[in-house]
Structure 1
Amino acid sequence: MWTQHTLTLPARRRGFHLITREVAQAVPELARTRAGLLHVFLQHTSASLTLNENASPDVRRDFERYFNHAVPEDWREWEHTLEGPDDMPAHIKASLLGPSLTLPVQGGRLALGTWQGIYLCEHRDDGGARRLLLTLHGESA
């Protein structure tokens, strides 16, 4: 079985946001999948995806602080500045984390670890709505 859905997430403020529930709900066929893979692809260049701690919001705030420190907006060497001071740093952060995740599916649900959740990493102040292409490949139950 193959199926594909587009999920449009509403605009979010800059930061790291849990979207696990929204992703799972956007793929109704997930519940009927015995074993498979869900590929989650973000169709943008200034945001990214990652999988990490889903319980403590401190972790998400620490991710944001770390990346803002590691890739500062005020670095004088940036050339690509026409779209604002947060644009080029957002592209760098997105490249470091990446635009996609491939997640296992088992018994009708995502087979994530106890403390794992999917993050949308919004690297712009006004990034707008974000589109995800969700592709499920698996064996039906």
Structure 2
Amino acid sequence: MPFTTTVLSITTGSEETVTDLTSRCEDFLARTAQGADGLLNLFVPHATAGLAVLETGAGSDDDLLAALHHLLPADDRWQHRHGSPGHGRDHVLPALVPPHATLPVVGGRLELGTWQSVCLVDTNRDNPVRQVRLSFLS
């Protein structure tokens, strides 16, 4: 099929998280790509979450959250004020960590570098469940 899509439901909980989606992307491609070349598009339909391609497990995910804390402090400077204190920063996050990513698929497999993972970045502690749309275009 030239275009296939599905929606993942990801529970991120009440803490800021970087959630590795790589295995879920690979599972989706194993079912849908069937050895084809194409593009995997990911999209997060939320105003307070984003997607990043980065190394995980060696501290980079924690470093990303620390950098976001430095750039976007959770304090009362934000004009957008509903939700948890500092929640306005969560609405700025997608300008720095976009809610979309498009990645190459070769031979039905995700073409990532050795240390790269596809991750959902969620700093919004008020929304514990996120949706991520995966779409494969061959």
Which TM-score applies when normalising by structure 1? 0.87
Q: Offset at 1:86?
A: 3.7
Aligned length: 135
2: CA distance, partners of 1:79 / 1:34: 47
Unpaired runs of at least 5, structure 1: none
Q: Which residue of 1 aligns with 2:52?
A: 50
Identity of aligned residues (%): 29
Q: Which residue of 1 aligns with 2:21?
A: 19
Structure ranking higher in strand proportion: 1
Amino acid at match of 1:114: T
1: CA distance, partners of 2:69 / 2:48: 14
Q: Are the counterparts in 2 of residues 49 and 118 from structure 1 also a CA contact under 8 Å?
A: yes
1:63 to 2:64 alignment: yes
Unpaired runs of at least 5, structure 2: none
2: CA distance, partners of 1:91 / 1:103: 25
> In structure 2, do the counterparts of structure 1 residues 55 and 74 end up closer, same or farther at CA, with 3 Å as the change threshold?
closer
Which TM-score applies when normalising by structure 2? 0.89
When the two chains are superposed, the root-mean-square deviation of aligned CA atoms in Å is 1.5
Q: Offset at 1:73?
A: 1.4
Q: Are the counterparts in 1 of residues 43 and 133 from structure 2 also a CA contact under 8 Å?
A: yes
Q: Which residue of 1 aligns with 2:136?
A: 136
1:115 to 2:115 alignment: yes
